[in-house]
Amino acid sequence: MTHPEPETTPVLALEGVSKSFGAVRALRGVSLRLYAGEAHALAGENGAGKSTLIKALAGVHRPDTGTVLLDGEPVEFHGPADARDAGVAVIYQEPTLFPDLSVAENIFMGRQPRRALGRVDHASVRRATADLFARLGVDLDPDQPARGLSIADQQLVEIAKALSFDARVLIMDEPTAALTGSEVARLFGVVRTLREQGAAVLFISHRLEEIFQLCQRVTTLRDGAWIASEPLDGLTEDDLVRRMVGRDLAELYPKQDTRTGEVALSVRRLTREGVFTDVSFDVRRGEIVGLAGLVGAGRSEVARAVFGVDRFDGGEVEVLGTRLKPGAPSLAMAAGLALVPEDRRAQGLVMDMSIERNIGLTGFADTTRAGLMNRKAERSRSVDWAVRLQVKYARLGDVVGTLSGGNQQKVVLAKWLATAPQVLIVDEPTRGIDVGTKAEVHRLLSALAAEGVAVLMISSDLPEILGMADRVLVMHEGRLSAELTRAEATEESVMAAATGRTNQGSAA
C-alpha cells in the first residue's frame, strides 16, 4: 500500500524498530513518521504494541533494533528526560502522578520557573497551572494533592502536563479513555490549536470516531507488526477495523431483548456524606441498567459502597432479598454480587501477581479442598475464563503487569465473571479495550443478562450506555437526576440530566 506522504522531513520517526520483552516480541520492524502540523493516529488491538511503540519514541524503552529519527537525524534517547528535552511530550496510557504533591507541582516537576539563586517560584507555578486548567476548562485547584483524584481528573492533569511543554511532538496514549464527551471536546479543541501552530501529534484511542474526528493519517499495528500507514480521508471505520483485526466485525452493541425477572439488586436511600446522597434504584434479573453521569458525579462511589469496599452513612442495599452489611465485600460476594472496578491497576489487579493467581483471587470457595488450595482446579478455572475473554498472554503464570492495558482489563473481567455472579456491577468495563473485544464484552454482558443476571453498567462512553442499557440512570452531583427508559434515553436527554439542566426527578 503506497500513499503519498508530505514531502518534508518528519519531525520524529521510527525506522524498523523491534522490541522484545523476554519471550514476547511486542514490536517487529515497525516504522512510523510524524509530520509537523499533522495528527497521526495509531490503531491496533489490545496488545498490538501501541504503548510499546510510544515508549520507544519517548526513550522509556531502548529499541532492540531500528532507529529513532529526530528531524531526520538518528538519535538515541537514554531516558524520558532526553526525549522531553528534544521537545517530545508524552501522555502515557496509565496516569503517573505524584500522589503526595500538588497538582501544580505534578505538572511542573523538574521544570519549575525559578527566581534568583535558583529558587523555585511557587507562585508562578500555581499561576501557570491555573492558566493551563482554564485553557482546558478543568475545574481543579492547583494546590490540591494528586492523591484522591479520580482517574479522569488524573488524566486531565496528565494532559495539562503534556500541554505545558509547548512541545513540537505531542504523543497521547488513550488520553480519552476515562473522559466524557465534553472533556474530550475541550481536549480536541486544544490539540487542534497546537497542531495548527505546527506541532506533530500522535494519538491512540480505541474509540474509532475520535480518530476520525482528530486525525489526518493512521498507522495500524497487528501483533507487533506494521500493517499500514495511510490517510484517514476515504477510509471507513470498517476498513480500519479490518486492518486492525484482520477480519470483519459483527454489530457493536448487540443488545438482545430479554425478559426481566424479579428485583435482584435493590438500593434504598443510600448516602455517603459529601459524596452521594439519597440514591435509590432497582436492578432486575435479565436487565442491563446503565448508570451515566459526568466524571466525578459519584457513580463509582455508589458502586463501591454497594459492593462494600467503602462504607456508607445511611440507606440499605439488598441483593436477592439479602440485606448487605455495610463495608463487607466478602458478604456481598457470598450474596451473589460482583464489582468490576474502574481502576484496574490499583483496584482490579494485583499487578505483581500472575494472571492465574489474579483470576484465582475471587475463587477460593471453588478451588479449595479441605481448606487447601487445589492447584488444578485453580488453573482450569483461570484458563477457562482467560480463553473465553481472549486474553492475549504467553503463559498463565506471567505477571499481569506485563500485559497490555486492554488485556489487563480482560483479566479483571475474567476474575469477576468466574464467580458466576447473580448481580454484576461493571464500572467502565471497556475502558481501553479494543473494538473487537469490546463487541465481545458487550455480547457477553448481553448473554449474561439473558441468563438472568442483573447488570449495572457504569460507563462514560455514552453510545455504549445507549446501545446496551435497558434503562438508564443518570447521576448529577452525587444524586440521581433521572431514570430513563431505553426509548427515552437519547444523547440529549442523558446529557441534560447529567449536567443538571433538567429537574425531571426520578421517573420510575
Partner 1 sequence: MTVTATPVREEAVPEPAAGRRLIDKVFKARELAVAAVLLVMLGATQLSNTEFLSEQGIKDLLLNATILVLVATGQAVVVITRNVDLSVGSVLGISAFAAGTYLQDGGSSLIAILLAVALGALFGALNGALVSLGKVPALVVTLGTLYIVRGIDSIWVGSQQITADDLPNGFVDFGHDGIWVVPYLALLALAVLAAVGYYLRSYRSGREMYALGSSPEAATLAGVPVRKRIMTAYVLCGALAGLAGALYLARFGNVDSATGSGYELTVVSAVVVGGVAFTGGSGSVYGAALGALLLTSINSVLPAIGVSSVWVTAINGILLLLAIAVDRILALRVAAVLRKQAAQLRSARHA
Partner 2 sequence: MPELTKNSAVPELTKHSALARFGGAVRWDSAVGALLLVLLICSFSFVDNFGNALNLSFLIGNTLPIALIALPMTMLVISGEVDLSVGSTAGLSGAVMGALWNAGMAIETIIPICLLLGVVCGLVNGLLVTRLGLPSLAVTIGTMAAYRGIAQIVLGSDSVTDFPTQYLDFGAGRIGDTFIPYALFPFLVLLAIAVVVLHATPTGRSLFAIGASEEAARFSGIRVKRLKLSMFVTTGVLSALTGVFWALHYASARYDNATGLELSVIAAVLLGGIDFDGGKGTLGGAIAGVFLLGTLQNAMSLQNVSAQSQIVVTGVLLVISVLGPRIGRQVAQARARRRTAAAPPPQAAPST
Q: Answer whether 454's CB lies under 8 Å from 339's CB.
A: no
* Contact of residue 31 among Mg ion, partner 2, partner 1, none (CB under 5-8 Å per partner type): partner 2
330 is an interface residue for partner 2 by CB under 8 A: yes
* Contact of residue 141 among partner 2, partner 1, Mg ion, none (CB under 5-8 Å per partner type): partner 1
Q: Answer whether 295's CB lies under 8 Å from 153's CB.
A: yes
Q: Could you tell me which stretch among 50-58, 263-271, 281-289, 464-472 binds ligand ATP (CB under 6 A)?
A: 50-58
Terminal CA-CA length for the chain: 55
Which cell is 260 given? 426481566
Q: Give the integer Cα–Cα distance in Å for 5 and 2.
A: 9
23 is an interface residue for ligand ATP by CB under 6 A: no
Nearest distance from residue 300's CB to ligand ATP, in Å?
Answer: 3
Q: Give the integer Cα–Cα distance in Å for 340 and 306.
A: 12
- Size, binding site for ligand ATP by CB under 6 A: 38
10 is an interface residue for ligand ATP by CB under 6 A: no
Cβ count within 10 A of residue 45: 26
Q: What is the CA radius of gyration of the chain?
A: 23
Nearest distance from residue 344's CB to partner 2, in Å?
Answer: 9
32 is an interface residue for ligand ATP by CB under 6 A: no
Q: Give the integer Cα–Cα distance in Å for 154 and 106.
A: 10
Interaction with partner 2 in 189-228: which residues (CB under 8 A)? 223, 225-226
Q: How far is CA 431 from the centre of its chain?
A: 3
Alpha helices in 14-58 (DSSP H): 50-57
Least Cα distance to 41 among 196, 137, 242, 175 occurs for: 175
Q: Give the integer Cα–Cα distance in Å for 400 and 354.
A: 5
460 is an interface residue for ligand ATP by CB under 6 A: yes
Minimum CB distance to partner 2 smaller for 8 or for 368: 368
* Contact of residue 387 among ligand ATP, partner 1, partner 2, none (CB under 5-8 Å per partner type): partner 2
1 is an interface residue for partner 2 by CB under 8 A: yes
What residues contact residue 315 under an 8 Å CB cut-off, 6+ apart? 267, 268, 269, 270, 271, 278, 279, 280
Backbone phi, psi, residue 112, to 5° = -60, 140
250 is an interface residue for partner 2 by CB under 8 A: no
483 is an interface residue for Mg ion by CB under 5 A: no
503 is an interface residue for partner 2 by CB under 8 A: no
155 is an interface residue for Mg ion by CB under 5 A: no
Interaction with ligand ATP in 100-159: which residues (CB under 6 A)? 148-153
* Contact of residue 364 among partner 1, ligand ATP, Mg ion, none (CB under 5-8 Å per partner type): none
Strand extents, DSSP E, 273-309: 276-284, 288-293
Residues that bind ligand ATP (CB under 6 A): 21, 24, 26, 44, 46-52, 93, 148-153, 275, 293, 295-301, 342, 392, 402-407, 432, 434, 460
Residues that bind Mg ion (CB under 5 A): 51, 93, 300, 342, 405
